[in-house]
Structure 1
Amino acid sequence: MLVDLRLNTRMTAWAGQMLRFGRDRRGAATIEVALTTLFMAYSVMNVADISIYAYTRMQVQNAAQMGAQAVYEACDSKKLPATSKCAGMNAAVTRGIQSTALGTSVTLKSGSPAEGYYCINSSNNLQYMSSYSNKPADCSGAGMPGLKPGDYIKVETTYTYSPLFPGNTTVGSLMTTPITATALVRLQ
């Protein structure tokens, strides 16, 4: 009986402590702040990674456009086809694509720059017609026989993106890499 009484007293004391612990709110704010801070830190990491990725994509696209513009500036209409008659074309393209904030990390895709004839189709998009060596008479192949094909230079750039927080820590690790971009400019 004495053992039962002691056990019962201990159980009652333990139950009382548990009830007091359950009602005790000291430190609750600290726990809430810690959990909120973890969530906010993870959110900020994701925002940073996505923002850097978006900025990098814009820079890669800008690099492609700068490369195409460089061909337009370096190769006048007397130097067409630019890929064979414009001696400074490749150097101009390289300077153009590396003039962005990404610098020398941006490279040309294999086979770029490429020159060819393009026409505008019925959807108002450029459609490749043929290489420069085989000029089509009109844009019949694009469904627009009344139009003349234009000589375009196509510059394709690539950049290998690595997230700010490596591994599978953030959404940035799920972004497409390498980042590629294409720009076309009409030469004639």
Structure 2
Amino acid sequence: MRADGRGVAAIEFGIFAIFLSATLANVTDVSIYIYQRMQVENATEIAAQAALKTCSTKLPATTNCSSLLSAMQNALESTSLGTAVTLQSGSPTEGYYCINSSSALQRVSDVSSKPGDCTAAGMPTLQPGDYITVNTTFTYQPLFPGISVATTFPTPIIRTAMLRLG
């Protein structure tokens, strides 16, 4: 019986197939996670651009543009993830920002009171810009929970986009 080698290849393939299947499950889940994360980021940026397109003449947009939220929601749903990408509670937010001496954006005021210049950021010769910040969320669910390393990835996927409106 020891000299009989029939079936050894099938046993070896069965052992190898287990590792191949686990690797394939991991590659699949990681790839889907990366793709969906990119789609969430894209949807977030599209929503910010929709705010600019829809409300650039009605600033501040969060108080003067009644179609802001519907335009942003339609933009969010335009990716392959559809309605699964949602605005976070309290989003969008809007405020006045200035460039400070370190060349970084610094919030100087909310939309209720526009400052005359950027003195608060240490740059009195500059004018503040009106920026909108969009925060979105998407819950990722791996295809192979328990097998894939993708179950350890952060979920929900949260993305932020900031765009100057005026």
Output the TM-score relative to the length of structure 2.
Answer: 0.89
What residue is the counterpart of 2:150 in the other structure?
172
| Structure 1 position 154 matched with structure 2 position 133 | yes
Report the AA paired with residue 117 of structure 1.
Y
RMSD: 2.0
CA deviation profile, 1:25-53 (whole Å, cap 9, x unmatched): 44332222111111111101000000000
Once the 2 structures are TM-superposed, how far is the Cα of residue 153 of structure 1 from its aligned partner? 0.8
Partners of 1:124 and 1:59 in 2: CA distance: 30
Alignment CA distance shift 1:47-1:132 (3 Å): same
| Equivalent residue for 1:44, pick from 24, 44, 50 | 24
| Structure 1 position 126 matched with structure 2 position 79 | no
Mind listing any 5+ residue stretches in structure 2 that lack a counterpart? none
Moved more, 30-39 or 141-150: 141-150
Higher helix share: 1
| Equivalent residue for 1:163, pick from 124, 133, 142 | 142
Which protein shows a greater Rg?
A: 1
| Structure 1 position 113 matched with structure 2 position 115 | no
Partners of 2:93 and 2:35 in 1: CA distance: 26
Mind listing any 5+ residue stretches in structure 1 that lack a counterpart? 1-19
Once the 2 structures are TM-superposed, how far is the Cα of residue 146 of structure 1 from its aligned partner? 4.5
Output the TM-score relative to the length of structure 1.
Answer: 0.79
Native 8 Å contact 1:164 1:172 kept in 2: no
What residue is the counterpart of 2:165 in the other structure?
187
Once the 2 structures are TM-superposed, how far is the Cα of residue 130 of structure 1 from its aligned partner? 2.4
- Aligned identity (percent) is 52
The residue matched to 1:93 in structure 2 has which SS? Answer: helix
Q: Which fold has the larger relative contact order, with Cα–Cα distance below 8 Å and residues 6 or more apart in sequence?
A: 2
Residues 1-188 of structure 1: pairs in structure 2 closer than 5 A: 21=2, 25-77=5-57, 79-121=58-100, 124-142=103-121, 144-166=123-145, 168-188=146-166
Once the 2 structures are TM-superposed, how far is the Cα of residue 24 of structure 1 from its aligned partner? 5.2
Report the AA paired with residue 128 of structure 2.
P
